[in-house]
C-alpha cells in the first residue's frame, strides 16, 4: 500500500514537472519568429516606413547595386545580445520596400551551439542538413531559418526569412544572375 502511494505521488510530481517544463518552453518560444511572424517587434512583410517607426535604420552603403530590389540596413540602437547569446552585426533586408529577412552571425562554437539548440526548440525539430552538414535549414510555417556553420572557427551565419516573400526574392536572384552574365 505504501509503495502504491509513493508511486502515485512520484507519478503526480513527474507529471507536474513535465507540465511546468512544457509551459516554460511554450512561453519561451511564443515570441519566436515563426510563431510571431516578427523579429524585434516588426512583422515580416512590413513596409520600410513601418519598420522605421520602430527601428532606427541606416542603409548599408555599397551593399546593393543601383536598381537592386533588395535594400540592406543596420540598426543603430541594436543590442547584440539575444537572450543567452552574443551575435555580431545584425543586417536587415527589405525586398521592394518590405521586410524580407534578418541575418546575423555568432562568433564561436559555443554561441553557435546555443543558437542551434534555440532554433530546434523554437521550430520543434532538428534542421534539414545538406550532405556536408554545413547548411542547416529549419522550414517554418511563416518564417524559415538557415544557418551556415564554419567547422574550423565555429562561427555561424544565421538568416531568418519570410516564406511569403521567398519566391519573389528567388526571382530577383535569377534576374540579377542573368543581368550579371550578360554584363561579363
Q: Note down pLDDT in tens along the chain; length 184 residues.
A: 554 443 333 333 344 444 444 444 444 467 799 999 999 999 999 999 999 999 999 999 888 888 899 999 998 777 788 888 989 889 999 999 999 999 999 999 999 999 999 999 999 999 998 766 678 999 999 999 999 999 899 999 999 999 999 999 999 999 999 999 999 9
Confirm whether 27 is domain-assigned. no
Confirm whether 145 is domain-assigned. yes
How much is the pLDDT for 37?
96
Confirm whether 36 is domain-assigned. no
List for the chain the helix, strand, coil content (%; round to 5). 40, 30, 35
How much is the pLDDT for 133?
61
Closest by Cα among 160, 145, 44 to 94? 44
How much is the pLDDT for 39?
95
Confirm whether 62 is domain-assigned. yes
Query: 158: domain range?
Result: 43-182
All three cell numbers of 47, joined, read 513596409
- The DSSP code for 36 is H
List, as one string, the DSSP characters of 147-166: EEE-TTT--EEEEEEETTTH
β-partners of residue 106 are 156
Confirm whether 54 is domain-assigned. yes
Task: Please measure the distance between the N-terminal and C-terminal CA atoms of the chain and give it in whole angstroms.
Answer: 85
Confirm whether 24 is domain-assigned. no
Confirm whether 16 is domain-assigned. no
Rg of the chain on CA atoms, in Å: 21
Confirm whether 78 is domain-assigned. yes
Domain count, the chain: 1
Amino acid at each position: 500500500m505504501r509503495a502504491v502511494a509513493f508511486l502515485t505521488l512520484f507519478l503526480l510530481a513527474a507529471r507536474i514537472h513535465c507540465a511546468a517544463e512544457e509551459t516554460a518552453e511554450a512561453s519561451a518560444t511564443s515570441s519566436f519568429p515563426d510563431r510571431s511572424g516578427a523579429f524585434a517587434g516588426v512583422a515580416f512583410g512590413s513596409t520600410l516606413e513601418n519598420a522605421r517607426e520602430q527601428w532606427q535604420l541606416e542603409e548599408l552603403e555599397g551593399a546593393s547595386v543601383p536598381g537592386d530590389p533588395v535594400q540592406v540596413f543596420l540598426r543603430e540602437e541594436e543590442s547584440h545580445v539575444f537572450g543567452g547569446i552574443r551575435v555580431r552585426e545584425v543586417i536587415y533586408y527589405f525586398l521592394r520596400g518590405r521586410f524580407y529577412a534578418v541575418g546575423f552571425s555568432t562568433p564561436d562554437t559555443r554561441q553557435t551551439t546555443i543558437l542551434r539548440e534555440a532554433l530546434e526548440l523554437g521550430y520543434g525539430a532538428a534542421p534539414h542538413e545538406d550532405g556536408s552538414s554545413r547548411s542547416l535549414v529549419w522550414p517554418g510555417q511563416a518564417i524559415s531559418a538557415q544557418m551556415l556553420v564554419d567547422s574550423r572557427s565555429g562561427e555561424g551565419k544565421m538568416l531568418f526569412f519570410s516564406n511569403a516573400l521567398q519566391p519573389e526574392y528567388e526571382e530577383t536572384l535569377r534576374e540579377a544572375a542573368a543581368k550579371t552574365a550578360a554584363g561579363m
